[in-house]
Each structure stands twice: as C-alpha cells, then as structure tokens.
Amino acid sequence: MPRIFLAIFLTLTLSLPAFAKSKHPHPAPVNATLGDKWAAKTLRSLSVEEKIGQVFMIWCRASFLNVESPEYLQWIEAMQKYHIGSFAMSVHVDGPFLLRTEPYEAAELLNRLQKESKLPLLFAADFERGVTTRLMGTTNFPHAMAFGADGRLEDAEMFGRITAQESRAVGVHWNFFPDADVNSNPANPIINTRSFGEDPKQVGDLVTAYIKGARSGGMLTTVKHFPGHGDTATDSHLGVASVNVDRAHLDTIELPPFRQAIAAGVDSVMVAHVTVPALDPDPNHVATISTAVVTDLLEKQLGFKGLIVTDALDMAGLTHLFANDIGRAAVEAFKAGNDLLIIPADLGASYASILKAVRSGEISQVRLDHSVLKILKLKGGLGLNKTRTVDITTIATAVGKPENIAFGQQVANSAITLVRDTGKVLPLKSKGTTKAGLPYMTKEETHNQVVAVLFSDDVRTESGRAFGRELRTRIPDARVIYVDPRIAAGMSEDVLKAVDEAQTVIAAVYVIPTAGKVGNSVGMADATGTLLQQVLDHAAAKTAVVAMGNPYLASDFPKIENYMCTFSNATVSEVAAIRALFGEIPIRGHLPVSIPNIAQRGAGLERPAQVANGGSPNAQH
C-alpha cells in the first residue's frame, strides 16, 4: 500500500507542471477563426448595453494599485456600468516624464482586471519601440526609422516577434503598430522617426515583415494612421492636420503600405484625425468620421475586412468639431465605419450617445452586431475565451532575454548613418578608463579637450544620460554639458568658451516627435537652436553633430561639416552613436529619407570598424 500511495503521489507531482501549462498555454500564432463559434454564441447572449460596451476602449495606467484605490475602482465601474470590453495599457506621466513601470506590476494588474470582467478583455498598447516604451526591463529597440536605415526585413520581422513575446507575457494582446505612414514631409512634427521612411515600397515591406513576426508570436497588429499622416505639418493631438494631395498622390505614396499590410493579414487599421480633401471635401470631416474614407475607401476599395479602430477620440483634431456635444463624436465615428472607439473624451457621454442612436434606429442593430462580432472573434482568435490571464512566473524567462537585448543593440548599431565626414574629426580616440577607487571617494576631473554639448527638450529627462556615461567611459575627463530651451541662452557664454578651448566638440541633438507637445516641432526654433548655430559658427570644423532622432536637422544648419544620424533617442541608439564615433563598429546605415539640401534617400558614407576586436574593453556591446 505505501508503494501504491508513493506512486500516486509521484504521478500527481510530476503532472503538476503540465496542469500549469494547460492553464496558461504559450501564446500561439494568431488564428482568425479559432473562436468563431464562441463569438457567435456570445453575441447572441449580450444585451444592447453590453454590446455597446464592447465597442469602447479606455485607458489603463499600469502600476501597483490597491483594490480600493479610486483609480482601480473607476475601471471596475467602467466594466460594470458601461460593460467596457477593452483597455489601452499605458503608464502615468508627469510633465515630460513617462513613469514606466515593472512587467510584474503590469501583468498582475491586467490579470486582476481580467478576473473582474464578465467577458475576456482585450488589452492593447502603443509599443512602438517594443514593450520598453512602457515597461522597464524589456528589450530596448530604436525608433522605426532606424529599421529603415538598417534596411533588413528580417530585423523588422524579429522586432515584431520579440515584441509579441514580451507583450503577451505581461498580458497585452494587441500593439498599435506598425506605422504605415510614409514620412514625405520633413516638417512633420508627429510622425518623423515613427515612420520607417519616405519610400512607399520600403515602408510597406518593413510593415509586412513586422506583421509577420508579431502575428507568429501571437500578437495582434495595427497599421496607422489611415489614410496616411506622413505628409502633414500639424500634430493631430493639438489641431486638425490636412493631407493636401490629389488622389493620384494618395494611390502612389500614402496608400501602398496600407495595401501591403492588408495583403499581409494585418488585424486592424487605425484611422487618423486628418482631413483629406481629395477623398472628402467637407472641411469638418476628418477621416475618422468620414464614410468616404472609412467605408468607401478602406472597406470597399481596399477590401479590408478586419477591425477598424479610431485614433484616440480625445485628440483635439476631433474634439474641436464636437465641443458642444462631445458624445456625438463617437456616434459619427461609428457611423463612418469604425468598429472600435478608442479613448473617448467623455466615456459617459459617448456611451449614452451611442445607446441613444441605437435605440432610435440611427445606428441599426445589424450594424452594431457587425462590429461587436468582429471584436469577439479577435478575442476568440487569441484563445481568450479559454484562458484570459497570464502566468506571471513566465515573465522571468520571456522578458528581457539577453539575446533579445543584444539584438536591439545590433539594430541600433546597424542604423547609424554617416552623412557628412571631413575625415578630420572621426573617429575619436579613447583615453582608457577611469581608475577604480573607493566608493564615495572618487572625484571626476573634467577638461575642455573633448566637449560634448547635449541638446534636449528638458535636461531633467534621461536624454543624453547614456551618451554621457558611454563617452566618459572612453574619455574620463571629457566635459559633458546638458542644455535645454530654458537654460540654453543663460549658458551660452560658458558653452562657447568651452567649445573654443576644445580640440574636439560633439553636439548631440535629441529631437523626436512628441505627441501633444505645445508648439510641437521637430526643429530647434528656440534658444537651443541659436546655441547650436553659435557652436557651429565658432567650431564647425572640429564639431561632430549627432542627430539623436530627427534626421532632417541638418537642413537648418548648413554649416555642419560632420553629421551622423541615429534616427532615435533610445538608449541603444545612444550607445551605438558613441561606438560609431570611436570607430568601434562599422558604419553601414543609409538614409531612409531625403534631407533637403543635404542628402538624398539612400545616401550614407560607409566606414569599417577602426578599433580591433570590436571596440575598447569597456564598450557596452
């Protein structure tokens, strides 16, 4: 008998891992028809009020929250009162600071919300640079345009696969990416480096590769911002952006990447708050509320059968049209053909307006069911009807894998593009390392032999920190000066004095598209721009300018003699820039965009690595 009990005990013990795995299966590739029967059955069981809740998505700011915290209780109320069916996971912000959280905290919160919901929830996120955009400890990737400079489709596919793996591990199923915009306007303040480039074919190919990788990892994908936000000069978060081109231009520039994405099986298309006179001449019809754009063009002409989602409904590009009846924006967007309404400016008013429109017959039951069924099929296709929570213990093995982190760095390295080089400044020469000392007893001495001036929107942010650390690893006495628009004028005298005394100057400029920034621009039309011009006036011949983001920067500063682009301000791009400046890696990137009066798309001066064995022993690899 003891032997029998022992055998039973061992059998049960050894089978426990199998039970655990069956409870939380590994995310499989997206299967569009997996949950069709469940979706149809569920639809029939829902009330009108519950169906309307499924077509709304609201914010979920991930962090640790007590079950009785007001913020958490608001989400519970939204699910109970408005039957919300999906959340856009983000994190809290404090002015210019994005308060990223930990993967475990995010996963625990999403699991908790899943358990509170009657139906499985869809969680989406803006993981444009991978999960690292919102969560710490995850793989760091550069902006999309860096993948354009890198040029390898297999890298874009791997980008999608790694993002899917990490995203699904924390309970996020759907990424609002890739960006199919063709950035044909250098003055575009909101797309810029978020786009893969200016060539429709390359953009479409990279978009397709990303979709393939992401869907193989079980993550839903979104192409945006339909019908194209690349040729605009306004941030639609702040006002109405207009695409003032004819239909022929749309067919040859803006629309081809979307056509490729649809052919590749993209799960959803996000519609932008932009006016497109060639498609809809009504000046009050942004694409989001235009039947001509959503139903006629996207569904009928392009043949898209997947989920159509709005850009955030709280953006000024839309809300200014409905200032006196904010709930009406949701009705008009839904009537235009959108299936999912994201981030309404006023959830209560928007829900009530949709409900009123359905009850009055303005929106038919058939039309409502059409969209709700699409949403339920997506949930079923992910298997959420069977397993809606994630196994938090897998985060330690799925997130932040060393090989994935190394891959993110590799892409950033490959993207480095040298546009101008006199041969007199680069490569820089390393002086070795700082001598080791006792904790709290070391003192860094700085000199003006090598001066780095790091320009950013706000010196309190992380911009330039990794750049400065990596520089001082190689030149311990380098002088690193941080400036932003508030302090640049007051520091100009000291900066120029240091520049005049220096043998070599590095000017690293952190300018990236920032949603909703007042006075949004990807230029330097402020005190920092004035200071950069003064630096060039004093020392252009000995200065290397590194565009840590916006590559078009050089158009405004024709005196630049040595010019390098990273297309991103991500930490991996900072490390790559330093390694390239010191000749530790080969430079082989090529411009995915044309820089007016400077260089054409495809340009790039290639350089072999100048330092044996891939760099100094202290370089970060």
Catalytic (active-site) positions: 237, 311
Q: Which segments of 368-503 are extended strands (E)?
A: 417-420, 450-455, 479-483
Q: Is 520 exposed, middle or buried (0-12, 13-18, 19+ CB in 10 A)?
A: middle
Question: Which residues, in sequence order, are CB contacts of 142 under 8 Å at separation 6+?
Answer: 129, 408, 411, 412, 415, 566, 567, 568, 570, 572, 573, 576
The CA-CA-CA angle for residues 542, 512, 286, to 5°, reads 145
Residues 202 and 229: beta-carbon distance below 8 Å: no
Helix residue ranges per DSSP H, 82-234 = 103-116, 144-150, 153-169, 200-216
Smallest Cα–Cα separation from 191: which of 235, 238, 158, 161? 235
Classify 91 as helix, strand or coil: coil
Smallest Cα–Cα separation from 229: which of 197, 254, 247, 204? 254
Half-sphere exposure of 458 (CA within 13 A, CB side): 10
User: Rounded to whole angstroms, how far apart are CA atoms 296 and 301?
Assistant: 6
Biggest alpha carbon–alpha carbon distance for the chain = 92
In the structure encoding, which two tokens stand for residue 80, read together? 């109970």
Identify any residues that bridge with 174 across adjacent strands, giving them in sequence order.
Answer: 124, 220
Residues 548 and 508: beta-carbon distance below 8 Å: yes
In the structure encoding, which two tokens stand for residue 530, read together? 């004035």
Residues 270 and 231: beta-carbon distance below 8 Å: no
Q: How far is CA 131 from the centre of its chain?
A: 9
DSSP letters along 390-412, please?
A: --GGGHHHHSS-HHHHHHHHHHH
User: Rounded to whole angstroms, how far apart are CA atoms 395 and 90?
Assistant: 18
In the structure encoding, which two tokens stand for residue 294, read together? 């959503």
For residue 407, the tally of other CB atoms under 10 A from its CB is 18
Question: Which residues, in sequence order, are CB contacts of 80 under 8 Å at separation 6+?
Answer: none
Residues 522 and 513: beta-carbon distance below 8 Å: yes
Question: Which residues, in sequence order, are CB contacts of 461 under 8 Å at separation 6+?
Answer: 96, 97
